[in-house]
Every structure is written in structure tokens, then in C-alpha cells.
Amino acid sequence: MRPVIKAAWPQEKGSLKSYKPYTKANNDLEANLGSYCSYCEVFSSDLEIEHVISQDQDDTLAHDWDNFLLACGKCNGKGGKSNKPVDFTTMHFPHLIQHLSVVFL
Ligand SMILES: [Zn+2]
């Protein structure tokens, strides 16, 4: 898993762009992250929008740009993770690995 640099929430007409339904984020995410799974880095033309915190756990984040990554079907469906709590202090996410940019400066 390589770090990815997630763009700030895109704007539209001076406010945060709406991603309802969340599938509207697909083009913006691919423009930002490329056509690669954010987890296993596989190149794919069939990526899914991954909710870092699943809709089952917090549906207020279902349309939140900052909660999106791209994932292949295999990574997105892994292990029924939608029911597992996300602990940012013990879990690693490709868009939250920021210290590496300091190490390599
Ligand atoms: Zn993957």
C-alpha cells in the first residue's frame, strides 16, 4: 500500500460539491487518485467507491468526500469489514500516511 495524496473536497459554485448519490464522486476520485485501487494498487477500469467508515457505521459520511477512496471489488468486499469499527490510531489508510513526505524531503 503506497500513500496516496487525496485532494481537498472539490468545490462547485463556491461550496462543497455534492456527492449524492456518492457514485457521482467516481470521476473526481479517478482524476485525483488514478484508476488504481487505493489499497492493493491494482489498475482497474472497474473500481468501486470505498467508504473508509462504512455507511452501516455512520451514514452521515455516506456522501462525504473525505470518507472516500477507490477500491477494487476484492478489497472493498473483504471480510465483511462494514461492520468492523474503524480505529484511526491502530489502522493504516493510504490517504492518511503523511509522515512519509517529511521523511523523504
Ligand atoms: Zn484492491
Residue-wise DSSP of the chain: -----PPPPPEETTEEPP-SSGGGGHHHHHHHH-SB-TTT--B-SS-EEEESS-TTT-GGGTT-GGGEEEE-HHHHTGGGGGGSPP-TTT---GGG--HHHHHT-
CA-wise closest residue to 93 among 48, 44, 37: 37
Instruction: Record the cell numbers describing residue 54, joined without a space.
Output: 462504512
Instruction: Look up the pTM and report it.
Output: 0.83
What values do phi and psi take at 40, rounded to 5? -100, -5
Q: Which residues have C-beta within 8 Å of that of residue 33, sequence separation ≥ 6? A: 4, 6, 69, 70
Q: What's the gap in Å between 6 CA and the centre of ligand 1?
A: 17
What are the sequence ranges of the domains in the chain?
11-103
Q: What's the gap in Å between 37 CA and the centre of ligand 1?
A: 5
Q: What is the pLDDT along the chain (105 residues), one digit of tens a residue?
A: 778 889 999 999 999 999 999 999 999 999 999 999 999 999 999 999 999 998 888 999 999 999 999 999 999 876 666 677 788 888 878 888 655 455 555
Q: What's the gap in Å between 15 CA and the centre of ligand 1?
A: 32
Q: What's the gap in Å between 44 CA and the centre of ligand 1?
A: 9
